[in-house]
Structure 1
Amino acid sequence: MIFAMRCLANKLLQYENERVNMNYIKNIKNIKNIKNINLAVVLMANWIVDIIIGCILMFGLGKIDEKYLISTLVVDLVFMIVVYIFEYIKKNDRYDIWIKGFIVAKNIYLVFYYMEHFCGSSKNINPLDVRFWFNGLIYVAIMVFIFAIFYRLPATVITFNVFTFILLIVNLFLVDERGLPFFSADLFSIGTAMEVAGNYTFKEWPQYLCIFIWFLTSTVTTIYVLKMQTKTKPEKTKFNVLIRLACLGFVFGVLTLFLKTNIMVDSGIETYFWKHTKNGVVLNLMMDIKYSKLEIPEGYDVEELEKIANKYKGTEGDGKTPNIVVIMSESYADLSVIGDFETNVEIMPFINSMKENTIKGKMFTSVYGGSTADSEYEFFTGDSMISYPNGAVPYQTYLKGTKFMSSLVRNIQKAGYTTISFHPNEASNWNRTSIYQALGFNKSLWIDDVKNPEFLRNYVTDECDFNMIIDEFENKKADNPLFYFNITMQNHGGYLVKGYENTVEITSGSGKYPKAEQFMSVARETDKQVERLISYFENYEEPTVVVFFGDHQPKIDSNFIEDMLGGSMDNLGIEELQKLYQTPYFVWANYDIEEKEDYDISLNYLSTLLCKTAGLPTSAYQEYLAELSEKFPIINGNGVVDAEGNYYTKMDALEKFDELITYESFIYNHMYDKKGYISSFFEK
């Protein structure tokens, strides 16, 4: 009996265990089914959001085309299906690595696609192009580097997506406002950018919002899938340390590949710094970093430079010391150099009419839409930006902390001049406080020195600005020559400021160009104030020379430029490109000087032209520049135009002409070779 009862009890226990196990297995299957359903819902919701946002961008905002939208949605869907299939058939944790790999790859690919399309690169790079794979490799390296820091995929994905989203928005804004992408040197200009950001209109905010939603949904979906997988808490084991070291080794290898080898050039990739859409955002940035270091010029030899320098002698001038006023007019330009168009009123009637005692023409600058400090640098030093990496701002990078700079200012002081600078904005912009001390100004005036300033579109007016000049000359001592350097602010971008009524309207063509019209409206006011200032000095009792030039062209409507040039800005040759780097200039005197019209030069020669016109002493370096200008009247950051009118890119010119290599060596010696500095050549 007892044996029978034991057998029955064992049978009942076995049955109960089997029932519990079956329920457990059933519960596990139910949980898996629920997870699969939830995953399907999340993936489908992500895809639907992509469709909605894509349609808004295509039909509502016109920011993407049908081909791009369809290809993006197809690739997105394929990745999602693969992830779901692996999750559905998953039998053990070994499947997790494949699921994680596919969802992270999907995230990287879509971020890559978003970045390149919205920045205009997707039409130039494709999977059959090496630039596509180079960009992809850089994106992977960024992701791997972040993973080496956090060692958690969710945190890595979030950080990667936030970083790339910020980079995308910054690039979109900079391209829209200045026509150039983000450069590494821009990190040193954040303070200056913040000072003037208030006048820029974020008119593309609907596009930015759509991109943000796209990034957000991709991030949330990726994190959700990663969280579904087996949760393993990272342990501080030797294996994990090796994984991190391997990740850092991979990143180091990628950096070495791009920065220390010639793989980009050997692959036929050109340095399209102004055509950032040719190479892709991150590859272009990598090229910028590679070439951003100021290298010692090839064949640099101080002894050889001294031999060349000894061939030139400075001059003592004609003994005259006329007052000198130099006005660098913010963003002032004659847009007709880009192409022909008609307006309801003339933009610069007075400046166009100047002939008597006037030298004038087109000034070739090295910057477009910004980086005013580079134009200052070229004027003061006679050095050209051709020797610097694209996007460089010497004031903020290479010359930071410099206590002494051989310059026009110091040389002119030795002729008995008092030197004053005035800029109606913050002194801290572009590191000007310390730079102007290094240049040698006796006194510098800023916005805080302006009593009762008047503003136009939130910037000090040229009328108010020029009143400061007139006041200084009204109160100056007789027979004490004055050098007055002025940077205006009135015409600064942006050019969609609400509440300002444009006075200029483009009457030709069918396009809409609101930025161009607002710019020309304020530039027209500058012409009026220039006429008033010249009228004042015409009656001034002391001999005076006035120099006026625009620091760079404004960044206006892209469609205006393309309509004027008759083609896309992405496909500009060097001659067409240089049309965007021309501004008006004139040298005028209230006494007799030799007159010249259509006398086109680059900005690095302007201070030499000023000294020779005013009869001032010149340094041996200025005599060298005067001779160089006879063969190369135009040298700027983009390239060279020779005396026969032939255009050369920067790279081609430096390879073709030994004279430019010598010029580069002099520039390096002038500013950076403290031991081998040839003072007798640069200083008067």
Structure 2
Amino acid sequence: MLVTVITCVGLVLTALSAVSALRFARTGGTRIPANAIAWGVVFALLQAFIAIWSGIGLVESDLLSALVLNVVLTGCAWAGFNRARVSERALALVGPEGRLPHPLVASVLLLLVAGFFAVLGLEVPSNHDITWMYPLCLMLEWALVTAVMAGAFLIFQRRGGISAGIALVLHVIGIAEYFVVLFKSMPITPGDLTALSTAAAVAGTGYSYTLSAFCLYGMACAAVSMTLLQVAGILRPERSRRTRRGLVVNLAVGLALIAGVAAHVTLIDYYHTLNIQVYTWRPLESYYRQGFLPSFISGAQTIRPPRPDDYTVEGAEETIEEYATAYDEGAGSSESRAAAESQFSEEQPTVITIMNETFSDLSIYQQLHAGYTGPEYFKGMSDCLSRGKLYVSAYGGGTANTEYEFLTGNSMANLGSGVYPYTIYNLQDTENLAAQFKDLGYDTVAMHPNHATNWNRENVYEDFGFDRFLSIEDFQDAETLRGMVTDQATYDKILELLDTNSNPQFIFDVTMQNHSGYNTGLMPYDKQLNLSIDGMTNSEVNEYVSLIQESDRALENFIGQLSRLDRKVIVVFFGDHQPFFPSTFNDLWFTDEDEATHQERLWQTDYVIWANYDVAGNDQTSEVDDLSTNFLGAKLMELIGAPMSDYQKALTSLRDAMPAINSAGYCDAQGRWYLTGSSVEGGDAAQQAMEQARGDYAVMEYYQMFYDGRDIYTKRYQSAANETDPNLAPGTTKIK
């Protein structure tokens, strides 16, 4: 409320400045120019926005930031409305009798300062300690922003409006970065731009868009930048002194500046030449230390998958064949595998895979200093085919990358930072579990109780070979929790599919119940779990663990029903990533360990593979096998005796030397973890074998995804080409 009062007072003063300017103009027998009104109104609108936003409780109550912002906005608005007086005083400072020898010199100085304040407007909302940035990276970002703004300034003949718009856009990006970091503990990456529709679909669910004090400081910086650009525009030559030569020179220099920036960001390798790297395991630190623009540009340059050294199609095929042969001659020729193969061929069990939204066991963080023991039923399942830690390539968000790794066997570790294959690459010929089961005569169904367009799933699932995709339209009357379809509702839909179709099925269920944010206050009282973390209550943690408790109950009920079912069923259950907040506990409570182990704790969930019948060749005693998501599909096929592709056999063999790999790191056969980007030179036999396996995997994956690398990007986005089949249930999407 305090911010609202201060801002309203600021608005009154802004209005008075407009009245003052009107009187001054009338005294001189003139009118306020339209461009002066436009400049003043822009700052008044920013002030009005803060007044409204704070009035509904969405601005942090901070006296100093509110005062600073309103003093700046009122001052900037005054300068806009009183453009004539500002012009008179500014022009008095230049020329023979002024302090500066030429208006152009003053304009250049103003552009340099405006560029710096524009950088602050971008960085300050999320990067609260600008002194933490590397000085050279700060200078680079300043140079990029200033060059673009100066280019626009000159192209439009030394008018500041467009350049001021650039400063405002940068600030808006800074605000967006603040909220993305707040909700996901991850920065904005180039890949996020290809998933804007997904972000928009979930943006209004469970999130509170409260502007912090630093957001207000950032807005003040952006306003200062815009006003400096206005003054720079005032200093352009009078109409009578403008020449055609001056127009051409301005245009040429402006275009040269823009072209120079374009050439710089496309021709200079930020990663290798400038050593600006976004570390996958700690991207936020990369953005904070290197700046938003340098980090974003580096990520954009590496979004195209790196072609392995000395890669050839023939060599990749030979590598896959060698690893597959090793499997056939080893584990693939065992009696247990033969028994499982024979049983699978006769029985063809239905395979249900459940990727549970944000399902993880946070008891790994010293029981949250609250005696929290995690999901009780899930952890107590003792009759599984296999279970263990699951090392994923997503943290706080990025669900689609986990399902991509599971379905394809490919790892995000080989694709770089900030990449979302579902929205970027051409996946039409990518080997995957759905197509594999379809070739075995299975009916294939994908389900996700949200929009089919999220993460471009409607097109990807079509390319992968799913017969049907059940999306939010199929869950119109389903039970919800916090406004999201419950896990139990998706399990009921699966049971319905089993009841109405006796054919063997491959069902892929991507749940939605536990999606962030976790400060909605919408958990029913009887479902709430309240923890006291070091004697304090954390509403986000409590809402999250309450959701996990509900997921655990739903899983217990579902497994119980499947146990009584008169048909053979396999269940694969795993979490896609952790929520966004455990990094705080990780850094606070785990201080004496190596960096790789420290970071990998954030990038793990859990999995189980369970069957409601005795699988031949397996004791079904919940053998623990920690692995990464990209190996989980091959593990499933091996355990249940399903036919395995050469690639899956190769991945299984590969695990002898490298049991797990994700975008954060990789481990050797002795369980030692190494961060992505690090390299083991020499080392013992286990380390050398791991390095060889890692290189071979990169070659095999590139072959699986891109073959010869000519056609890597997706040909279709978010199309409306899917048709509705009248023979299907209402709202069901038919995958052609």
Scaled to the shorter chain, the TM-score interval is 0.7 to 0.9
Deviates more, 1:514-523 or 1:206-215: 206-215
Matched residue type, 2:449:
P
Tell me, yes or no, if structure 1 residue 584 matches structure 2 residue 611: no
Using the alignment, how far apart are the partners of 2:249 and 2:481 within structure 1?
A: 61
Which of residues 393, 399, 408 is equivalent to 1:381? 408
Q: How does 1:316-335 map to 2 (within 5 A)?
A: 317-320=341-344, 321-335=348-362
Mapped to 1, the partners of 2:63 and 2:566 lie a distance apart of 60
Instruction: Report the equivalent of 1:176.
Output: 182
1:347–1:527: 8 Å Cα contact kept in structure 2? no
For the Cα contact (< 8 Å) 2:279–2:417, is it kept in 1?
no
Query: Which residue of 289, 307, 314 maps to 1:296?
Result: 307
- Using the TM superposition, give the Cα deviation of residue 409 of structure 1 relative to its aligned residue in structure 2, in angstroms: 1.4
In structure 2, give the amino acid aligned to 1:170. Answer: A
CA deviations 1:573-605 (Å, max 9, x no partner) are: 332222111111111111233334442110000
Rounded Cα–Cα distance in structure 1 between residues aligned with 2:243 and 2:185: 48
Aligned residue runs from structure 1 range 91-130, under 5 A: 91-92=95-96, 94-120=101-127, 122-123=129-130, 125=132, 129-130=135-136
Q: 1:648 to 1:252 in 2, by over 3 A?
A: farther
1:587-635 per-residue CA deviation (whole Å, 9 max, x = no partner) reads: 1111233334442110000001111111111111111100111211111
Q: What's the counterpart of residue 350 of structure 1?
A: 377
Spell out, residue by residue over 1:297-332, the C-alpha distance to the aligned partner (whole angstroms, 9 max, x if none): 221111222222332257783341221110000111
Partner Cα separation in structure 2 for residue 443 and residue 264 of structure 1: 42
Q: Pick from 287, 298, 301 the counterpart of residue 298 of structure 2.
A: 287
Q: 1:99 to 1:253 in 2, by over 3 A?
A: closer
Unaligned runs of 5+ in 2: 1-26, 29-38, 77-86, 333-337, 682-687, 712-736
Question: Can you list the C-alpha shifts for 1:256-276, whole angstroms capped at 9, x where unaligned?
Answer: 445433566455544335122
Letter in 2 for 1:647: W
Aligned equivalents of 1:672, 1:605: Cα separation in 2: 20
Q: Does 1:421 align with 2:446?
A: yes
Q: Residue 538 of structure 1 aligns to which amino acid in structure 2? A: S
- Please name the residue that 1:498 is paired with: 521
Q: Is the Cα–Cα contact under 8 Å of residues 322 and 545 in structure 1 kept in the other structure?
A: yes
Given residue 639 of structure 1, which amino acid in structure 2 is its aligned partner?
G
Larger Rg: 1
Instruction: Look up the match of 2:671.
Output: 645
Change (3 A) 1:149 1:598: farther
Q: Cα–Cα, structure 1 residues 319 and 629, in superposed 2: closer, same or farther, change >3 Å?
A: same
Measured against aligned partners, the alpha-carbon deviations of 1:475-507 in whole angstroms (never above 9, x if no partner) come to 222xx2211110000000111113334612222
Shift, 1:446, TM fit: 1.2
Cα distance in structure 2, aligned partners of 1:404 and 1:63: 58
Written as runs of structure 1 = structure 2, the 5 A alignment for 1:552-567 is 552-556=577-581, 559-565=584-590
**Match of residue 153 from structure 1:** 159
Query: CA distance change for structure 1 residues 221 and 123 in 2, over 3 Å: closer, same or farther?
Result: closer
Superposed, 1:608-647 pairs within 5 Å as: 608-647=634-673
Aligned-partner SS, 2:342: coil
Secondary structure of the 1:205 match is coil
Alpha-carbon contact 1:382-1:607 (below 8 Å) kept: yes
Name the stretch that deviates more: 163-172 or 491-500.
491-500
**Closer/same/farther in 2, CA of residues 146 and 633 from structure 1, 3 Å limit:** farther
1:157-236 alignment runs, 5 A limit: 157-207=163-213, 210-211=216-217, 213-215=219-221, 217-219=223-225, 221-226=227-232, 228-232=234-238
* TM-score, scaled relative to structure 1: 0.80
Aligned to 1:306: 317
Match of 1:519 among 534, 538, 544: 544
Shift of 1:145: 4.3
Which amino acid in 2 is paired with 1:628? L
User: Is contact 2:359–2:576 with CA below 8 Å preserved after alignment?
Assistant: yes
Q: Which amino acid letter does the alignment assign opposite residue 491 of structure 1? A: N
Whether the 8 Å CA contact 2:408–2:432 is kept in 1: the answer is: yes
Residue 410 of structure 1 aligns with which residue? 435
TM-score normalised by structure 2 residue count = 0.75
2:94 corresponds in structure 1 to 90
For the 8 Å contact 2:171–2:219, the answer to whether it is kept is no
Separation in structure 2 between the aligned mates of residue 186 and residue 572 of structure 1, nearest angstrom: 31
> Mean Cα displacement is larger for which, 265-274 or 492-501?
265-274
In the superposition, relative to structure 1, how do residues 508 and 179 fare at CA in structure 2: closer, same or farther (>3 Å)?
closer
Q: What SS is found at the alignment partner of 1:107?
A: helix
1:364-403 alignment to 2 at 5 Å? Answer: 364-399=391-426, 402-403=427-428
CA distance 1:307–1:572, change in 2 (3 Å): closer
Where structure 1 has 5 or more consecutive residues not aligned to the other structure, the ranges are: 1-29, 32-41, 77-82, 678-684
Q: What secondary structure sits across from 1:325 in the alignment?
A: strand
Q: Supply the distance in 1 between the matched residues of 2:417 and 2:231 (Cα, whole angstroms).
A: 42
- Contact kept? 1:631, 1:642, Cα under 8 Å: yes
Kept in 2: contact 1:146–1:159 (CA 8 A): no
- Distance in 1 separating the partners of 2:583 and 2:112: 35
Give me the identity figure in percent. Answer: 25
Q: Is 1:516–1:557's contact at 8 Å kept on the other side of the alignment?
A: no
**Partner SS for 2:519:** coil
- Structure 1 segment 427-576 matched on structure 2, within 5 A: 427-450=452-475, 452-477=477-502, 480-501=503-524, 503-556=528-581, 559-565=584-590, 573-576=595-598
SS in 1 for 2:570: strand
Superposed CA deviations along residues 493-542 of structure 1, whole A, max 9, x for unmatched, are 11111333461222231455322211111111000000001101111122
Classify the secondary structure of the residue corresponding to 1:584. strand
Do the aligned partners of 2:124 and 2:174 also contact (CA within 8 Å) in 1? no
Q: CA deviation at 1:151?
A: 3.9
CA distance in 1, matches of 2:128, 2:139: 13
Structure 1 range deviating more: 161-170 or 304-313: 304-313
* Residue 240 of structure 1 pairs with residue 247 of structure 2: yes
In structure 2, relative to structure 1, the CA distance for the partners of 1:220 and 1:111 (3 Å cut) is closer
Shift of 1:215: 4.5
SS at match of 1:380: helix
CA distance in 2, matches of 1:59, 1:352: 40
In the alignment, what sits opposite 1:663? 697
Is the 1:116–1:122 contact (alpha carbons within 8 Å) kept by the matching residues of 2? no
User: 2:198 aligns to what SS in structure 1?
Assistant: helix
Counterparts of 2:378 and 2:63, CA distance in 1: 41
